[in-house]
Chains A and B, each alone.
Chain A
Amino acid sequence: MAPALKLLVQRVALGLMLLFLVSALIFVGTQILPGDVAQSILGQSATPEALANLRQELGLNEPALTRYFDWLFNALQGDFGTALTNGQDIAHSVGNRLKNTLFLAFWAAVIAVPLAIFLGLLAVRFRDRWPDKLISTVTLASISIPEFLIGYLIMYFVAVKLRWFPSVAMINDGMSLGEKLSSIAMPVMVLTLVVLAHMMRMTRAAILNVMQSAYIETAELKGLNRFQVIYRHAFPNSIAPIVNVVMLNLAYLVVGVVVVEVVFVYPGMGQYLVDHVSKRDVPVVQACGLIFAAVYIGLNMVADVVSILTNPRLRHPK
């Protein structure tokens, strides 16, 4: 177990270091924008005295390094400060939004990941025959069309023509799970179509790569049928690359859904971020940036960990 454990510790440490660097980058990025928070708050009414007073009050005269570590330690304790625009506690409003975004991402993943892997296996099973070509064409088409267009197309047909679901995906805490699911059905559809192609094609490529191996021939010469060969012998050896692409797409489902959330007016992180970017609400932008980075790095770290754990050479050293 020793080499695997060492690698795991290294990966986790690397992930944390990366997150630390990203937090610094986010902080520096928002600092080098022209103007500062005091100016944003006061806007047109900024007199030199008022600016100086507010800066004093907000601690903006402190050195940048001190302010960075203050911000970081507070953020680590869950305190992101207050939004400039409405004075609300950021942690509280982000918490709600994040919950909604994760809810949407979760259901999209529950449908997209197994479907993508199943379609990938199917494409390998019928390689270069019509099912493979059909799957490849449809998924390629869906990834090529911009997601907002898919969104509006689905909205037009499913909500307007067929009237199956409401066109706006509003959810709130008072709704039952069924009501919530019905409400997010359309954005889930769009997200599934968007992430499906990438995962399915990588699954297909990873398994096909393994299918060249000599041990696949051994399996075929044992008299196993093609699906047994793929499932028992090829799939276990392609888990690492598949998990990698799945994690990348899960991260996308959380941090890349801005467009879809805006199209369906869904109260998630993406829409929240867009709103506050346009209002130059720096603390909110920083908080969202940090959370997105954490999700992204965290999921990729999980992918690395799974790769290490599925490698028999690392799991069972000589």
Chain B
Amino acid sequence: MGDAMLDVRDLKIGATAYPPGEPPQEIEIVHGVSFQLEKGKVLGLIGESGAGKSTIGLAALGYGRGGVEITGGEVWINGRDILKGGMRGLRKLRGAEVTYVAQSAAAAFNPAKKLMEQVTEAAIHHNRFPKSEAEARAVTLFAKLGLPDPETFGNRYPHQVSGGQLQRAMTALALCPEPDLVVFDEPTTALDVTTQIDVLAAIKEAIRDTGVAALYITHDLAVVAQVSDDIMVLRNGDKVEYGSTDQIINAPQEDYTRALVSVRSIEHEEQPPTPDPVLRVSGITARYKGTPFDVLHDVSVDLHPGQTLAVVGESGSGKSTLARVITGLLPPRSGEIEFAGRTLSPALEGRSREDLRELQMIYQMADVAMNPRQTVGTIIGRPLEFYFGLKGKEKRRRLKELLDEIEMGDGFIDRYPAELSGGQKQRVCIARALAAKPKMIICDEVTSALDPLVADGILKLLLNLQKIENVAFLFITHDIATVRAIADSIAVMYRGKVVRYGSKSQVLSPPFDDYTDLLLSSVPEMKLGWLEEVIAHRKMESAGN
């Protein structure tokens, strides 16, 4: 045990919960977790939300977010228990021996200060380096992390650089004081998949070159498989499995780990196009009011009855804008939308109630898409009254039917959204859309905010409902795995244009255009050494050109 730089023993973490209408309760969220980390090694902490992985990561800095408190156990760093040193000891530790890389670098940088000042602040504050040396270190790190113009990069403000660059700058911030341990908390989760791969490679190289130990927290097993030596699988504050990355990926022992490894096992056979599409979008060009450029350029796609069209692309590619145009929230500058054989009015005001009923929408954030003060029954009942005038017993009967369809019993009718889990909330939103008996539903990133296993359940449910109700889905997502699982046809969008469009098998088979190739090859695969393979392959290609 002598050479472990981080030694966590029987760590217990608690929080105060405030259930509505009840007195506050002390709850335990991490129940006695132990692990060790040697110098220069990377340990991946993986689990779904609520697993306690971030909480454990922050405990390595003696920090509890919100009302979270470390209630028991020991955290030994470099041979001393940091929980015994009081606040003064913790302040000496934080930013010097242990540093932290936050999930959203965009929010974690102070908007009022230049990057250089923030990156070097901890190193100077703790007298690790004098100012000039700290700045020289920062420039070296900027260069190592592949940031543009490393000499002058630090003179910029956070809003002047991109999200991927900020995430690298955050890594520079964590490495600048020459710490012994860095806690990476979902450092690439908020990034587009094509950006993620570069940042991931940069982080991995920086860890290797500086020889720090790292805790790498993520919910994405394929990502953590690329960077860590060991993996600890967590669930509801308990350790499920702990082993080498090779063993966890290739020979998982526990059922839960196996489920995580084999997630996205959905099989969906692609359906051939029909002669009469339910939705025909032709030549849509659109821009937002008051902006000088178009965000959609001549977009044309078809969606066939009872089928799924996946619209895939990075943030800013215009896929959500397309949904706004189809729903009538953003009237296009030119182009036409044909729906169920009739031409839709470009603006929402010109659409009939029938138009509205037959075209429903499900959103990414289920909890903000529902009124928190309405019960599930009221939320799902509203379209029943509005479109079909159902009341009393009949409405109740239909409610039960819908709740059955989303695999939630009628016991949920009187519950409030706050009493539901993330997956249940999204199911209620699905039921609300189905209540209108639509011909088509636009699903805007409906599984992005959910844990993989829960998301899987939602996708299965959607496919099932599609068969029963013969409803068509326009499925907006950035996740290729989801697309593979559910789509019949695919439209790949890039900078407001459809760059590739066709049946699933066509779009996902070579020969690829450059962008689709980049997109597909950037999706992390659950195998060791994938990252190196891709990077090496890309280097070779660019050398060949």
Contacts and interface: CB of A to CB of B under 8 A. Distances in A.
Interface in B201-252: none
A222 interface: yes
Interface stretch (B97-105, B333-341, B481-489): B97-105
A236 interface: yes
Contact of B111 (A221, A222, A312, A318): A312
A218 B100 contact: yes
A228 B95 CA distance: 14
A43 interface: no
Interface in B105-119: 107-113, 118
A136 B173 CA distance: 38
Given A215-B107, A222-B122, A318 B159 contact: yes
B94 A236 contact: no
B63 interface: yes
A148 to B, nearest CB: 42
B108 A233 contact: no
Nearest to B104: A214
Interface residues on A, range: 20 to 34
B91 A218 contact: no
B96 A215 contact: no
Contacts of B99: 221-222
Contacts of B63: 220-221
A265 interface: no
Interface in A279-315: 310, 312-313
B125 interface: yes
Interface in A216-251: 217-225, 228, 233, 236-237
Given A215-B109, A312-B157, A313-B111, A223 B104 contact: no
B484 to A, nearest CB: 34
Contact of B110 (A220, A223, A225, A237): A237
Nearest to B97: A223
B268 interface: no
B107 A313 contact: no
B94 A221 contact: yes
Given A215-B107, A237-B112, A223 B91 contact: yes
Given A313-B111, A313-B159, A222 B65 contact: no
A203 B156 CA distance: 28
B109 A220 contact: no
Nearest to B123: A222
A223 B126 CA distance: 8
A316 interface: yes
A213 interface: yes
B212 to A, nearest CB: 16
B111 A214 contact: no
Interface string B270-314: 000000000000000000000000000000000000000000000
Kindly list the 3 A-B residue pairs having the minimum CB-CB distance in the complex, ordered from nearest. A222-B95, A223-B95, A214-B107
Interface of A: 213-215, 217-225, 228, 233, 236-237, 310, 312-313, 316, 318
24 contacts: A213-B107, A214-B108, A215-B108, A215-B111, A217-B108, A218-B100, A218-B102, A218-B109, A218-B118, A221-B94, A222-B125, A223-B90, A223-B92, A223-B94, A223-B95, A223-B96, A233-B110, A233-B113, A236-B110, A237-B110, A313-B157, A313-B159, A316-B159, A316-B160
Given A219-B110, A222-B95, 11 more contacts: A214-B104, A215-B110, A215-B111, A218-B100, A221-B94, A221-B99, A223-B125, A224-B125, A233-B110, A236-B110, A316-B156
